């Protein structure tokens, strides 16, 4: 079975630009969560979506938004990029209440 | 709020040495506890988990026991290999509250030398 997939794998943007990251969950998983991992730190929770509705939101500014589609895939959008948004963005999927499985991540560099 | 504290790295060991990475947590209720591993340039892989007190999670020779009395979930392996070199993250999920986001420690980098 395919695991969680994310695209793109790497991305370079400049300050002020917008970025969209994509995630496809494991087949049968209806919940998707997004995490930001800054270099040298543990992942920080950004959003959780279940059945296309936001279930939880971490302590991130409104520049960060997300959505989930009918096929349970998800997008994370970040507007007005800052240098500090440079990080590895991880997507995780789960059957709600069970273990979260992570994708390989999208490495974003903001110049 | 919920939090996880794990020992600072990096940890450098010789092959076949014994490994312990300490992890303690603060949480309301009865969280589930996890160890994830991250190899260079990759995402996170679940290593093991425990969902209630006194449970022992194990995988690939690694073990950790959920100790409610000491709020700990220390990771151990009896004989490490070079291939175990990675960053290890302790995490918890406050599932009893119906909220499943993971809270991670800062990670411990392990380097095993031949």
User: Quick one: average pLDDT of A59-64?
Assistant: 97
Q: Is A25 on the interface with B (CB under 8 A)?
A: no
Task: Name the percent of chain B lying above pLDDT 90.
Answer: 81
> Is residue A102 within 8 Å of B43, Cβ to Cβ?
yes
Mean pLDDT, rounded, for B57-66: 97
**CB contact A35 to B (< 8 Å):** yes
Which helix (H) or strand (E) segment is B16 a member of? Answer: none
Q: Over the stretch A73-109, which tens digit does the pLDDT of each residue have?
A: 999 999 999 999 999 999 999 987 778 899 999 999 9
Give the pLDDT band of residue B97 (cuts 50, 70, 90). Answer: very low
pLDDT at position B99 is 52
Give the closest-approach CA distance of B54 to chain A in angstroms: 19
Average pLDDT across chain B, whole number: 92
Asked whether A102 and A4 are in contact (CB, 8 A), the reply is yes
* Alpha carbon of A44: minimum distance to chain B alpha carbons (Å): 7
Residue recorded with tokens 């092959």 = B15
SS3 of B82, please? Answer: helix
For the stretch B70-83, pLDDT in tens is 999 999 999 999 99
**DSSP annotation of A90:** E
Instruction: Identify the pLDDT of residue A96.
Output: 73
């Amino acid at each position: 079975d395919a695991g969680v997939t994310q695209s793109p794998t790497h991305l370079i943007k400049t300050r002020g630009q917008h970025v969209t990251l994509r995630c496809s969950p494991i087949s049968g998983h209806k919940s998707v969560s997004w995490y930001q991992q800054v270099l040298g730190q543990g992942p920080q929770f950004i959003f959780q979506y279940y059945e296309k509705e936001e279930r939880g939101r971490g302590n991130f500014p409104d520049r960060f938004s997300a959505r989930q589609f009918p096929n349970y895939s998800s997008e994370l959008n970040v507007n007005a990029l800052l240098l500090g948004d440079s990080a590895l963005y991880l997507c995780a999927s789960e059957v709600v209440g069970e273990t979260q499985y992570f994708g390989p991540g999208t490495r974003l560099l903001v110049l | 709020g919920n939090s996880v504290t794990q020992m600072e790295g990096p940890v450098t060991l010789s092959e076949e040495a014994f490994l312990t990475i300490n992890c303690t947590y603060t949480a309301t209720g009865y969280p589930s506890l996890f160890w994830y591993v991250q190899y260079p340039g990759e995402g996170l892989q679940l290593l093991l988990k425990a969902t209630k007190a006194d449970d022992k999670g194990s995988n690939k020779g690694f073990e950790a026991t959920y100790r409610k009395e000491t709020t700990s979930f220390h990771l151990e392996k009896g004989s490490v290999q070079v291939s175990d070199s990675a960053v290890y993250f302790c995490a918890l999920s406050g599932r009893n509250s119906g909220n499943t986001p993971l809270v991670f420690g800062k990670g411990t980098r392990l380097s095993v030398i031949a």
